[in-house]
Each structure stands twice: as C-alpha cells, then as structure tokens.
C-alpha cells in the first residue's frame, strides 16, 4: 500500500499442490457381482490443512490450490469439498496440465512468492520452491 491507496496492493501468494495433503485410495467394487468398478477415494489430511491456515495467518499470504492432470471442474469439486468440511485455507484454485506448464507460468506471475510441493519436485521450481 502506498500513500493509503489500496488499488496498487498485490497480496503475496503461495501455490500449494493438492498432492501434499490428499491421500488417495483405490477401491474396487463389484456391481451385480460380476462387473468390477474402480473408485478413487480422496482423504484429506487435516493436520496439513491446519498448518496451511496458521501459515496464512502468521505470514499474511494467500494460498492458491494447484493440481496437475486434473480438469478445472474436478479441482472445483475438491475446492468445494474443502469448503463443506470447514477446512479450506485456499482462496484460489488453478488446474495445470503438467509441471512444465506451471514452471513456465511462474516468471509471469509477480504475486507468487513460492510453491509448496512434494520434496522430489521442489528443485524444479528454482527459487520459488518452499519447504513446509
């Protein structure tokens, strides 16, 4: 904020990958005792969601939920589920087709100060890679 003007303020943003706090289970059910149907269940790790909420309060940043190989509608479903359980620290969400697309997009987003992702992918983000 400069001279009391809020219009030029750009809040800092940290991108958080969905893989950090989601445990996926594959379950096979049988319909009519013959046809196997594969279902994927998502379980949210509430400890990580609590850490993300405390991180936003203490460091005054906003969080954006990102995911790879998901459509925007699938990510919107996850975002709404987090809202429904009352543990949604994210304000924005974006679906990327690949990791390369996100890395190519980072230099053109001045509000992004870091990316929280799995440790094996952290080095691909350069100076944007953050630890928990």
Nearest by Cα to 87 from 132, 43, 125: 43
What is residue 6's predicted lDDT score, i.e. its pLDDT?
A: 62
Q: How far apart, in whole angstroms, are the C-alpha atoms of residue 112 and residue 67?
A: 16
Place of tokens 């001045």: 110
Distances (CA, A) of 127 to 7, 16, 37, 131: 28, 15, 43, 11
User: With bands split at pLDDT 50, 70 and 90, how would you rate the model's confidence at 7?
Assistant: low
- Is the per-residue pLDDT at 30 higher than 90? no
CA atoms within 13 A on the CB side of 59: 15
Residues 3, 50: contact at Cβ < 8 Å?
no
Residue 34 has pLDDT above 80, yes or no: no
pLDDT digits (tens, 9 = 90+) for 100-131: 999 999 999 999 999 998 888 888 888 888 88
User: What are the structural domain ranges in the chain?
Assistant: 13-130
Tell me the pLDDT of the chain averaged across its residues. 86
pLDDT, tens digit, for every residue of 39-59?
777 888 888 889 889 988 898
């Amino acid at each position: 904020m400069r001279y009391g003007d809020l219009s030029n303020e750009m809040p800092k943003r940290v991108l958080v990958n969905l893989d950090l706090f989601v445990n996926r289970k594959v379950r096979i059910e049988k319909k009519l005792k013959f046809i196997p149907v594969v279902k994927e269940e998502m379980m949210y790790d509430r400890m990580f969601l609590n850490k993300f909420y405390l991180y936003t309060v203490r460091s005054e940043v906003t969080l954006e939920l990102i995911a790879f190989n998901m459509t925007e509608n699938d990510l919107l479903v996850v975002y709404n589920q987090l809202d429904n359980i009352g543990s949604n620290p994210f304000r924005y969400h974006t679906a990327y087709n690949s990791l390369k697309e996100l890395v190519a997009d980072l230099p053109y987003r001045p509000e992004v100060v870091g990316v929280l992702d799995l440790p094996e992918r952290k080095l691909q983000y350069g100076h944007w890679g953050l630890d928990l």
